[in-house]
Structure 1
Amino acid sequence: MEKAAVLVAGGKGTRMGGPIAKQYLPIGGKPVLMHTLEVFFKVDPDIHLILVLPASDFALWDKLVLDHQFTIPHHCVGGGNSRFQSVKNGIKAIPFHEGLVAIHDGVRPFVREEVIEESFDVAQRTGSAIAVISLKDSIRKLSDDGKSTYQERQYFRLVQTPQTFQLSKIRQAFEVTELPQFTDDATVYEHQGWQVSLIPGNAENLKLTTPEDMAYAEFLLSQKKA
């Protein structure tokens, strides 16, 4: 069964506070996105890699690829005005009709290879596979009147990516009009009335968003090298 990965990196990275978007910032000497592409390539060298970027960033990315002599095959697609539109553009660029697709945040370079592998295995059997992790902290629910109530954390999960699907199903799901409740790809899939399957993610698979995250990313890389 053919496999694809749509790596979404359409954001401007304003929370990082620098002149360059977070997906292009270096960790371990090369841009974040290159680390993410490498993980998926290691899982399956034949995978179709689709990188969704702002169209205005194509020239910058081409320069980074040349500067770092980056040779992993991938195809760049222009993003949309929202994550929903960016993912939809990426899915449309997949060059086959039947198979599996993992949709992943480009700024999550520390996803484990075994998580990606399991996501493809489970999605092939059930239609979907969503990486999640358990909560460690206590949680409370806030109401409109400012009051809060205790919640049993064992009934909740933090959602990560990859979110992997049978291609025909997720293509169908993304044909609908975008809605506010579409916070990720799983919610788009669920909108069709389909139940998602959950798989264990990995705690270090954080979404790099702030300068503190970048410092932690350097630490994680140093641990991997050690």
Structure 2
Amino acid sequence: MTSAVIVAAGKGTRMKSSKGLSKQYIEIVGKPIILRTIEKFVKSEAIDEIIIVVSKKDEQYLKEKVLSKIKSGKPIKIAYGGKERFESSLNGINASSKDSDTILIHDAVRPFVKIEEIEKVAEKARKTGAAVLAVKSKDTVKLVSDGIINSTPDRDQVYLIQTPQGFSKKLLLDAYMDLINSDEIFMPTDDASVAERYGANVHVVEGSYENIKITTSSDIGFAESIIKSECGI
């Protein structure tokens, strides 16, 4: 059984709507960003259940304005976010069914992930234990310290990591428990880094450059153009 955890507990301090809504609830071409995201996982045959991790104060809004518009027999659960992003992920994982053995974790503000990409990550995660969606960097990347370039990694080896990220549920929970019980000061920026720290080999699944994370107001125009292109507008 495969569970999708959609993380939507962020406050979105860099971008809010005129109504004060966090970015995941902002409408683009007449539909909230998070609704577009959830719909992809509802449609994917690789996903058996969906857990949405939200701020407790947003729960009622999510139910009334988003979940009420989804017509599906697929189970959709709600979990509450933690102080840090990794705590929100862990809360979502813990809310998954006891029968779930594979977990996909996805950013609520990445609505343009393709259904086939979701299914490729799920398949790779089931086979290998850990897989992430990623694209090759188009730009030259520099490692910088104190404003000075230290080195230039080979661009062919540089990938921009996206979501979903898929894992064996047992592996990911073991990795999180190892982190929590450690005295090490380590703040993971994604779930893959938790698995990497634990010693897991995380495999890359080629994604698409359209799978953007909508973070600032400048991303809205690009998002609108993607939607209009998909709809032939």
TM above 0.5, yes or no, is yes
The whole-number CA distance in structure 2 between the counterparts of 1:151 and 1:170 is: 29
Aligned to 1:95: 97
State the Cα distance separating 1:77 from its structure 2 match.
Answer: 0.9
**Alignment partner of 1:187 out of 178, 190, 193:** 193
**40-49 or 19-28: bigger deviation:** 40-49
Q: Is the 8 A contact 1:181 1:187 kept in 2?
A: no
1:37-186 alignment runs, 5 A limit = 37-44=38-45, 47-65=48-66, 69-72=69-72, 73-144=75-146, 146-148=147-149, 149-175=151-177, 176-177=179-180, 179-186=185-192
Amino acid at match of 1:7: I
Consecutive unaligned residues of structure 1, counting only runs of 5 or more, are none
The whole-number CA distance in structure 2 between the counterparts of 1:46 and 1:154 is: 32
Amino acid at match of 2:87: Q
Helix, strand or coil at the partner of 1:94: coil
The whole-number CA distance in structure 2 between the counterparts of 1:141 and 1:170 is: 29
Aligned to 1:34: 35
TM-score by length of 2: 0.90
State the Cα distance separating 1:17 from its structure 2 match.
Answer: 4.3
CA deviation digits over 1:103-147, x for unaligned, max 9?
A: 000100001111111111111111011111101111222123x32
The whole-number CA distance in structure 2 between the counterparts of 1:46 and 1:81 is: 27
CA deviation digits over 1:159-205, x for unaligned, max 9?
A: 10110011111121122318534111001111221111111011100
Between the aligned residues of both structures, percent identity stands at 36
**Alignment partner of 1:201 out of 181, 185, 207:** 207
The whole-number CA distance in structure 1 between the counterparts of 2:165 and 2:46 is: 19
TM-score by length of 1: 0.92
Aligned to 1:3: 2
Helix, strand or coil at the partner of 1:38: helix
Helix, strand or coil at the partner of 2:14: helix
Summarize the Cα distance change of 1:147–1:43 in structure 2 as closer, same or farther, 3 Å threshold: same
Amino acid at match of 1:183: T
Helix, strand or coil at the partner of 1:136: coil
Q: Give the root-mean-square deviation of aligned CA atoms.
A: 1.7
The whole-number CA distance in structure 1 between the counterparts of 2:129 and 2:196 is: 11
Q: Is the 8 A contact 1:51 1:77 kept in 2?
A: yes
The whole-number CA distance in structure 2 between the counterparts of 1:96 and 1:6 is: 14
